[in-house]
Structure 1
Amino acid sequence: MESILEIKDGCVTSEQLLRSYAFARYLKIYKKEYLEDLEKKGEKHSEEAKQKMELIANLTLKDIFQIFEREAKGADLEKDRAIVRFLDGCYHHYRNKSFSRLVRMHNEIVTSTSETQSSIKSKISDKAEELSELIILTRRRLLDKVGLGHGVSRSHGLDASPNVTAGEISGHFCNIPSTYSKIAYTNLTVTADIKTGIHYDTSVNKRAYPFYELEHNPLNLDNFVPEDWVAVPLKVGKWLIITYIHKSRGSIEMEPGLLNLFPFYKVDKDFTSKKPDGIFFFGYPGASKEDLGFYNDKKNDLLIGMVPDLPEYGYFGYCKKPILTLHNVLAILKGDFPLHCGCNRYVVGFDKDTDEPFISDIYIKADDMGKAEFYKNDKDKLKKLKFYGTEIGAFACLDGFSEQAKMQMIGREIGYNASYGTNARQIVPVAEESEVSTGSNLDILLYINNYDLKKPGETMVDTDMPVKDAIVHFHDGRRCAAGSTQTGRGGTEISYWANPFPLLKDNDGTIIHKDLYEKYTDTEEELISTIEKLVKTGDMEVGVAYSMLMAGVYEGNTDEKVLDSGFKNREEIEQEGPIRLAESLIVSVKEFAVKKREKLGKNMREVDVTVAMIGDSRTGKSETAEKMEGILNMNIA
């Protein structure tokens, strides 16, 4: 496998850095790549290549230290300059092409109360910064020593920190079932500092293969080498899902994205008794296409997800979607109802003079996936629905965002496949863990139609329909595709409840996961019954929202329809459609807030309104939230 650089040395001087095992290992990696590149170029420039190859092939640590120790002149100075130029290439290769992890063990998070994940995070962030400064200082010293330091005296803005700086504990602190005890020999990354503003390329830029339930356990522990894996205990909804990422290039690049997407599970002294609810493996060597999917190990009460080490699965979506699939399977088995949606909690205040409603805050509860739980307090006459989210980040397709929104992401993002043109994605933090994990009463439930056109002045939020008519839209799950799946861009596809993962019913009506489908539909009956009662009492609204996000490319919309809907051209719709929806949604939220306040008591100065919008990828969930932020001129937290 193509190696990553793991740094475990503690260095405070340039000399210690250059003597470290990590530097020696990386120098060996870079020398090999450099010499192979020279051999290719040598066919045209053989003599020049030969001179460089001899110098680099015979380069030793003594040669490097000699640069610091002597005042070279003449031929010696030229040799030293050639070495420094080579090392400067090594520096730029490290910053731009390598994948590095700085690792520190911190078992005290579990063994004592003196340290927490938060306190260790501060310490390892300092370590990452110190290493970056030391690397930059060492580079500057070498360049200055041989008279090549012009232009590098100012290093502000340069960052030579590792891709990931990890605080780890022994994997044995987790209560792994004995059947899988071998995986406990992989350390757990329980807090991390990640380098953001980085973009990675992967072997593919869209999903093409489903993640279904398997009849066999895909995990072959004979192929599991503990030190070849990174393990991260993620909090996905209410569940602990430990994600194992192979350290090979092509797989390890998914780690920063996951760390920007999901929160860490809380690790303290009580963690030792916690058994994982699911384990997920990405980039598993020796696994075949038949092993792609998840397995329910009922004997050990454990879900196992598997993505083999094959280039056709080299896409971040093959990390995100399977992990959310495990979450949803756990939710279905528990009797909750997974919702493929974006969900915001709006805080609506009332003017002290006019009593008019205004939206004072917006909090993201889910960017892409959540679930509804049934609950009933002693004071409640009816069951209600509480919404919980899963992700603190957004896996955002940039196509539908404004330039201002894109600029606000700069420096906070982990990006993938920016060079592909279409379906470039970024993972950016958008929500607080406390908001995602706290349940909120679900007030408005909408299905997003992303392809039908609406004329100016028409409402983009329609809740004036019977519940049974609204549910038809959720069952159909129709959307115009963006081309990130097998459906071509501009075509429509249907998916039961917008495909909440795993796919329960195929487009032709075929039931795919029979046991899960039956459990899901039993819960759905309770959900619909609950919604009908809540709508009848005015405690909830349900309907359809029209984002028009993909209406410009939808093959069913003629140029005449586009013009009749008030657009100058098809390209304009992608930005303007979600703006119109955002404006209508603001009205709907404030109207519902007024009614909710009437029921709760007129003396209340503010009420919460939680809105979930159901839809698959590129239906306008994130885009509409971004437009609302712009209209209301507030930062979404």
Structure 2
Amino acid sequence: MATSVRFHENQVIIRTTSLEWGSVDKVLDSGLFRTILSNFLKKLRDNRSEFLSILPKHPKEQEDLTLLCIKKLAKADRDTVLRSNPELKSLLADTYLLDRLVEAFYNYWRGHERYLICLSDPKVGGNGDIDHRPYRTFNDTIEKLNHIVRKIYRDLQENITGEHPIIYRQVPAGCTVGAIAKEISLPLPEQYSKLNKVPVIRQVLLNPPIIVNPTMNKRSGTFRLVNSNPLDGEGLDPAQWLCFPAKVGKLTVYLYFHEFYTGLAISTSNLFELCNDEDLRKAPDAIYVYGAPLKIFEKFAPDRTVFFDDEKNNLMVGAIPLGREYGFFGYIKKMMLTLHNSIMIKRGLMPIHGAMVRITLKGGEKANVILVGDSGAGKSESIEAFRTLSGENLRELKIVFDDMGSLELGEDRKINAYGTETGAFVRIDDLESGYVYGQLDRLITMIPKEKVNARVIVPITTLKEVQHGWPVDYFLYANNYETPKGGNYIERFKSAGDAMPVFKEGKRLAKGTTHEVGLTMTYYSNPFGPVQLMEEHEALAGKYFNAMFDSGIYVGQLRTQLGLAGMETRGPQEAAKALFALISKGKKR
């Protein structure tokens, strides 16, 4: 079977060109099963487990006899196995302890993040076009593997105890995530042609609940725009890399990731839409290599999170090295958005770090609202407050973007807004619990070892909403650090001259979601493109703010109070009520 298995941290990554997972024997005879068993037994020895009392003392003998015992008990009951295999007497003597040993082994396996990558290979019969029949491919691999692992577990229990299980839990016992990938000749410039050896993901199967354990719980530093190409002449080992081609707004970004980051990178499927075949026939707008060799960053020292504007090939290129310190989803999301924003600035659009919602109140009033602010300013929390208060005021709420968008100024001087992501990457603590429970079957949950800044990635909108281009009624700065005086949650600016200093200063109370703490300031609340291309952005900002006031857009600030102790929930809710009241008095769209 053309299959490789590798372990990284808590991840098991299985890459295979075989669609034949159809028997218990194939699973029990596989190198993967023996490796998992060996690792499990080592853990028992390290912990001086009580299970060692029924196992041989020598590690090799432990492994051989335990494997033999499992293979025999998978097909026959305990008494039958004991009669024909007296060497297993010690293992089979204590039925209760053996049953618990099997349960512990099963839970040990399921405690891993398990990823199955189905690779297309024309040399393998019937395997050259697996991406054209994804349902059958997933059914023949991940679904079949799930069934067989559950069968082995249940048969072992029955043959040890002599009893049928009373409760059957149909958990994804094999793998929780599957992907179909194939080598594709992408329309890359000649300079990047070596990347065409890397398999490209075409379909993803998510089998919830999906829990990813990142090696870090926050992102630190900024992304530096460098003067030379970090990928110049570099190739990637196709046996250890995959490509996730993503739609970031209207742009196409190829995310190349090392298998060390498999869990984080495949989670991108809940945040960005996967490119279709038509998208892949066009040249990409950006390339991002996540897990690049450290040597390519030597010339950029001390910076290791860099991107480059390849003007010759009309391509933005990002790179971040391989290492535990970069094992946080924010390094994927924010680099891809930095590449997007830099391209937008070059094309004359103004990137917005914020959230946009289309609101319809029960009275029929409609408004398209943008909230601007850096991490922890209260964007997602305000949207959550809108949702929480929906029973009182709201008929409909549609999200255009949750974290990053851009404004386009048309020839008619009208401004339209576009999004980037179809999902949201949000802190669990900032979501109303009922919403989380209602979305459990769609969430990808990220729980770092420190249990701080746990997050979920959840689909929230459609690519059509993101790419449509919506007019703007309210453009508000999310002020999370001031207490409203006299209930003045919303303040309208009188002119671009009044508004721009507030937006430009980008002041907020950091919540510990990045390396920042306390009261901080970020240029236009957006360190993802505007900071690196400040001169170009400065010219755009003046043009866009003047156009907003010329066209009658309500430009102001919304005091969310999210950064103030004790106001994390009430603050955004009071601000949302004030906004609802303002919209109800305003114009109807």
Give the TM-score, by structure 2 length. 0.82
**2:39 corresponding residue in structure 1:** 33
Maintained 8 Å contact 1:344/1:365: yes
Alpha-carbon deviation of 1:147?
2.7
Matched to 2:489, the amino acid is M
SS at the partner of 1:448?
strand
Aligned mates of 1:400, 1:305 — CA distance in 2: 30
* Map of 2:286 onto structure 1: 278
Question: Residue 252 of structure 2 contacts residue 285 of structure 2 at CA under 8 Å; is this kept in 1?
Answer: yes
Root-mean-square deviation (CA, aligned residues, Å) is 3.3
What's the counterpart of residue 368 of structure 1? 403
Aligned to 2:514: 485
Question: Counterpart of 1:411?
Answer: 441
Q: Does 1:262 align with 2:291?
A: no
Q: For each residue in 1:10-48, what CA deviation from the matched residue of structure 2 results, as whole angstroms up to 9, or x when unmatched?
A: 34644354267xxx2322332342343345356999976
Match of 1:584 in 2: 578
User: Contact 2:21 / 2:141 at 8 angstroms: preserved in 1?
Assistant: no
In structure 2, the partner of 1:444 is 474
Q: Are 1:551 and 2:568 matched, yes or no?
A: no
Deviation (angstroms), 1:465: 2.8
In structure 2, do the counterparts of structure 1 residues 134 and 219 end up closer, same or farther at CA, with 3 Å as the change threshold? same
Whether contact under 8 Å (2:117, 2:181) holds in the other structure is no
**Structure 1 residue 275: Cα displacement:** 1.3
* Contiguous gaps of at least 5 residues in structure 1: 108-113, 377-381, 505-512, 553-570, 598-606, 608-637
Q: Distance in 1 between matches of 2:162 and 2:521?
A: 62
Query: 2:148 is matched with which residue: 134, 142, 156?
Result: 134
- Amino acid in the other structure paired with 1:473: V
Contact 1:278 1:303 in 2 (8 A): yes
1:84, CA displacement in angstroms? 7.8
Q: What CA distance in whole angstroms lies between the structure 2 residues aligned with 1:140 and 1:438? A: 51
Q: Give a deviation string over 1:400-452, Cα, whole Å, max 9, x none.
A: 33332332343322222365344221111111222112111112111010011
Instruction: Indicate the residue corresponding to 2:215 in structure 1.
Output: 203
- Decide whether aligned partners of structure 1 residues 162 and 358 sit closer, same or farther in structure 2, where only a CA change above 3 A counts: same
Q: Is the 2:212–2:263 Cα contact (8 Å) retained in structure 1?
A: yes
Secondary structure, in 3 states, of the residue corresponding to 2:239? helix
| Amino acid corresponding to residue 62 of structure 2 in structure 1 | I
Aligned-partner Cα distance in 2 for 1:358–1:154: 44
Cα 1:235/1:522, change in 2 over 3 Å: same
- Do the aligned partners of residues 341 and 42 (structure 1) sit closer, same or farther apart at CA in structure 2, a change above 3 Å counting? closer
Alignment of 1:56-455 (within 5 A): 56-59=62-65, 64-68=70-74, 70=76, 71-73=80-82, 75=86, 76=88, 79=91, 88-103=103-118, 105=120, 120=134, 124=138, 128-147=142-161, 152-172=165-185, 174-219=186-231, 224-248=236-260, 251-267=261-277, 270-271=278-279, 273-287=281-295, 288=297, 290-347=303-360, 359-376=394-411, 382-417=412-447, 420-454=450-484
SS at match of 1:252: helix
CA gap 1:502/1:29 in 2 versus in 1, 3 angstroms: farther
Distance 1:12 1:429, change over 3 A: same
| Native 8 Å contact 2:13 2:259 kept in 1 | no
TM superposition shift of 1:470: 1.8
Equivalent residue, structure 2, for 1:632: none
SS of the counterpart of 2:488?
A: coil
CA separation of 1:106 and 1:55: change in aligned 2, threshold 3 A: closer
Tell me how far apart the structure 2 counterparts of residues 57 and 102 of structure 1 sit (CA, whole Å): 28
Question: Contact between 2:74 and 2:152, CA under 8 Å: does it hold in 1?
Answer: no
Aligned to 1:496, which of 523, 529, 546? 523
Residue by residue over 1:222-243, the C-alpha shift from the partner in whole angstroms, topping out at 9 and shown as x without a partner, is 5621120121000001111011
2: CA distance between counterparts of 1:316 and 1:272?
A: 24
Number of aligned positions between the proteins: 534
Question: Which whole-Å CA distance do the structure 1 matches of 2:359 and 2:250 have between them?
Answer: 23
Q: Is the contact made by 2:131 and 2:203 (CA closer than 8 Å) also made in structure 1?
A: no
Would the aligned equivalents of 2:341 and 2:530 in 1 still touch at CA under 8 Å?
no
Partner Cα separation in structure 2 for residue 39 and residue 138 of structure 1: 24
Tell me whether 70-79 or 400-409 shows the greater mean CA deviation: 70-79
Work out the CA distance in 1 between the residues paired with 2:136 and 2:499: 49
Letter in 1 for 2:534: Y
Aligned partner letter, 1:208 = S
- Letter of the 2:281 partner, please give it: S
Task: Render the CA deviation track for 1:309-337: whole Å, top value 9, x for unaligned.
Answer: 12222211111111110110111111111
Counterpart for residue 458 of structure 1: 487
1:182-216 Cα deviation digits (max 9, x unpaired): 21111111221123333322222112221111222
Q: What letter is aligned with 1:189? A: I
AA aligned opposite 1:159: P
Distance 1:59 1:186, change over 3 A: farther
Q: Secondary structure at the match of 2:257?
A: strand
Contact 1:365/1:389, CA 8 A, preserved across alignment: yes
Q: TM-score, normalised by structure 1?
A: 0.76
Q: Distance in 2 between matches of 1:206 and 1:53?
A: 39
Give, as a single letter, the amino acid of the residue that structure 1 aligns with 2:488.
T
CA distance in 1, matches of 2:402, 2:416: 16
| Native 8 Å contact 1:197 1:411 kept in 2 | yes
Is the CA contact (8 Å cut-off) linking 1:140 and 1:153 kept in structure 2? no
Give the percent of matched residue pairs that are identical in Structure 1 and Structure 2. 25
Helix, strand or coil at the partner of 2:211: strand
Could you give the per-residue CA deviations for residues 107-161 of structure 1, whole angstroms, max 9, x where no partner exists?
9xxxxxx9988x73686378544432232122212322233656x4532342225
- The aligned counterpart of 2:7 is 2
